[in-house]
Chain A
Amino acid sequence: MKKRQRGLILALAPFVLMVLAFQVVPVFSMLTGSFRHADGAGFTLGNYQHALSSAYYLQAIKNSLLISVFSSLIGLAVGLVCAYCITRFAPAVRDRLLMLSNMTSNFAGVPLAFAYIILLGNNGVFTLLFKQWGWNVFDGFNLYSWSGLILVYVYFQIPLALLLLYPAFYGIREQWREAAALLGAGSWQFWRTVGLPVLSPAIFGTLGILFANAMGAYATAYALVGGNYNLLAVRIGSLVAGDVVTQPQMGSTLAVLLALSTLLAVFLNQRMVQRMEGLGGRNSAGRERSSGLLRRRWPAVREEAGQ
């Protein structure tokens, strides 16, 4: 019996070791770092005090929050409309549409920022073309600024929102609509009193994931504006591995703040998923949602995991 036990523990040891070394120790080190003085000794709350009072860091936090909220809300709105539209198509067309949006969700980070530079940058194809044609729709537009960042963020939020939301629409039964119609409810009234309340956990859960996704996005912003735009993720990057002066303690502090916000958002998503499941009868929709992040990447995995 002893020997059996030893074999099992031996099989688990490498896993425990790897998780300890590359997940637990770094998190611990980041936490302690955020409570250290700049010279690396002693315990202090000063870093947090500084982060939450310095105009510069506050602006980074505010910019990140704003861009995350805006891009999530836009992504959510477009995702909702499109997810509803997708349910109106025949299954074959629907699968193809989902596959296409899935495909584009692999197009993120550096290549995405790069594509937008080609399209709308200073010497972008459309920028030059519109100038040539005398159109001035893009006169006030600058890709390397707030509006450009929003545009690019929305691009990677929409497919994610769509893929997370569309299963929830299958929870709404055609019979409910018929019943509502029989009772004299119009289409608008049905959605307001039945449809949206049923969808609401999925909507709030998706919002959480989108928010976390935008808060943590680094590659896209970094490739687009470098260190020029004051975002929390970009700021952390330059504090820790910067070209100028590295301030690992301050970087750790901001990183803890960022992690808190994304953890909170993902927690919201988990709670909402549980509520979806708790509603009963729509378990399939809830299950589909629960590991939505994993399945967003490929339909193959979605099918495989859905068994």
Chain B
Amino acid sequence: MNTRKAGIAPRTFMLLLMIYLLLPLLATGLYAFAQDWQNTLLPRSWTLGWFRGMFQDIRFLEALWNSLYLCVISVLLSLAVMLPAVFVITVYFPRWESFMKGVVVLPYAVPGVVAAVGLIRAYSSGPFDISGTAYLLVGAYFVVILPYMYQGIRNSLLSVSAVELLNAAELLGARRRSAFINVILPNIWPGVMVSALLSFSVLFGEFVLTNMLVGGHIQTIQVYLFRRVGESGHLASAIAISYFVFILLLSAVLMKLGMKIKGQAK
């Protein structure tokens, strides 16, 4: 299909689709800046007050901090666990790959509510009573980002031909551990960074597990947003828009990184 010039029908359809998709975003954005918006098409007066209120709210800052450290810790833990595991499987036990893939893809098919049920049941009593703690949440987060981390690390390993690299390094007398740290890691680092950032943003938007597992004890940005919706619509829109802008910035960074990797590969 090499048609370059779009006809009138595709243009109309896409325009409608874009209006439909962007309207809720736009409305939230306007609402966050609106002071008086009752019965006119556009707000009558504007203000930055809601954003000011947001940054003065100690609970918001606390929630932001909670979100940040929980996500960072989970991603770092996942990196520490997944990097050696995926490396060993891909390079030394390729026969186990399909098994690992099955394990790792499962979180896609199992909705958050279901995962939460199991986690709550398993850890709310008995020897490991960690319900409501950050430990449980970090474990749950680890499972949520499994597919992203696995796919990212594996793709990076394959695209730098890790097996050949490793053989060359060992032929030149490098020990396996130092070959991994000095040769493989620097080469796959950009791709791994992309998966890490992607995982981070997935976790940043996580609500179901967070609310069900630790909602009463630790408020993340999503839980906080959920609690504030009933109180002040304007303030909540300011938070929602800030969150969205943050995610957009993150995805812009991701795209830049992705393009850079692609450029290197060529």
Label chain B's interface by main secondary structure: helix
> Is B81 a contact of A26 with CB atoms below 8 Å?
no
B24: Cβ under 8 A from any A Cβ: yes
Q: Measured between C-beta atoms, what is the minimum distance from B168 to chain A in Å?
A: 18
Label chain A's interface by main secondary structure: helix
How many A-B contacts at CB < 8 Å in the complex? 285
Q: Which residues of A contact B24 (CB under 8 A)?
A: 107, 112, 115-116, 118-119, 155
Contact with A along B217-255 (1 / 0, CB 8 A): 000001001100100010011001001100110010011
Q: Measured between C-beta atoms, what is the minimum distance from B230 to chain A in Å?
A: 10
**In-complex Cβ contact of A89 among B14, B142, B201, B225 (8 A):** B14
> Is B113 a contact of A236 with CB atoms below 8 Å?
yes
Q: Which residues of B contact A107 (CB under 8 A)?
A: 24-25, 244
Residues 14-31 of A contacting B (Cβ, < 8 Å): 14-15, 18-19, 21-23, 25-30
Residues 89-124 of B contacting A (Cβ, < 8 Å): 89, 92-93, 103, 106-123
Q: Measured between C-beta atoms, what is the minimum distance from A202 to chain B in Å?
A: 15
B194: Cβ under 8 A from any A Cβ: yes
Q: Complex formed: what's the CA distance from A117 to B259 in Å?
A: 37
Q: Measured between C-beta atoms, what is the minimum distance from A93 to chain B in Å?
A: 8
Q: Complex formed: what's the CA distance from A100 to B248 in Å?
A: 11
Contact with B along A217-250 (1 / 0, CB 8 A): 1110011000000000100110011000000100
B56: Cβ under 8 A from any A Cβ: no
Residues 41-55 of A contacting B (Cβ, < 8 Å): none
**In-complex Cβ contact of B84 among A11, A115, A256 (8 A):** A11
Q: Complex formed: what's the CA distance from A157 to B257 in Å?
A: 28
Q: Which residues of A contact B2 (CB under 8 A)?
A: 174
Contact with B along A263-302 (1 / 0, CB 8 A): 1001100000000000000000000000101100111110
- Given A85-B9, A89-B6, A297-B202, also A128-B1 (CB < 8 A): no
**In-complex Cβ contact of B240 among A111, A170, A218 (8 A):** A111
- Given A118-B31, A240-B116, also A169-B1 (CB < 8 A): yes
A164: Cβ under 8 A from any B Cβ: no
> Is A218 a contact of B111 with CB atoms below 8 Å?
yes
> Is B251 a contact of A298 with CB atoms below 8 Å?
yes
Q: Which residues of B contact A61 (CB under 8 A)?
A: none
B50: Cβ under 8 A from any A Cβ: no
B255 to chain A: closest residue by CB = A300
Q: Measured between C-beta atoms, what is the minimum distance from A236 to chain B in Å?
A: 5
Q: Measured between C-beta atoms, what is the minimum distance from A279 to chain B in Å?
A: 18
Q: Complex formed: what's the CA distance from A252 to B82 in Å?
A: 30
> Is A125 a contact of B31 with CB atoms below 8 Å?
yes
A87: Cβ under 8 A from any B Cβ: yes
> Is B27 a contact of A115 with CB atoms below 8 Å?
yes
Q: Which residues of A contact B165 (CB under 8 A)?
A: none
A97: Cβ under 8 A from any B Cβ: yes
Q: Complex formed: what's the CA distance from A19 to B20 in Å?
A: 40
**In-complex Cβ contact of B194 among A30, A155, A304 (8 A):** A304
Residues 106-151 of B contacting A (Cβ, < 8 Å): 106-123, 139-140, 142-143, 146-148, 151
Q: Measured between C-beta atoms, what is the minimum distance from B38 to chain A in Å?
A: 7
> Is A117 a contact of B229 with CB atoms below 8 Å?
yes
Q: Which residues of A contact B6 (CB under 8 A)?
A: 85, 88-90, 93
Closest 3 CB pairs of A and B: A216-B111, A26-B118, A300-B258
Residues of B within 8 A of A (CB): 1-7, 9-10, 13-14, 17-18, 20-25, 27-28, 31, 37-41, 80-82, 84-85, 87-89, 92-93, 103, 106-123, 139-140, 142-143, 146-148, 151-152, 155, 159, 176-177, 191, 194-195, 198, 201-202, 205, 207-208, 211-212, 215, 222, 225-226, 229, 233, 236-237, 240, 243-244, 247-248, 251, 254-259, 261-262, 265
List 24 contacting pairs A-B, 8 Å CB cutoff, sorted by A: A14-B80, A15-B82, A22-B119, A23-B107, A85-B13, A100-B18, A103-B251, A110-B226, A115-B27, A118-B24, A125-B27, A125-B31, A158-B20, A159-B21, A216-B113, A237-B113, A237-B208, A237-B212, A241-B120, A259-B114, A262-B110, A298-B254, A298-B255, A307-B265
Residues of A within 8 A of B (CB): 4, 7-8, 11-12, 14-15, 18-19, 21-23, 25-30, 33, 78, 81-82, 84-90, 93, 97, 100-101, 103-104, 106-112, 114-119, 125, 128-129, 132, 155, 158-159, 162, 169-170, 172-174, 212, 215-219, 222-223, 233, 236-237, 240-241, 248, 251-252, 255-256, 258-259, 262-263, 266-267, 291, 293-294, 297-301, 303-305, 307
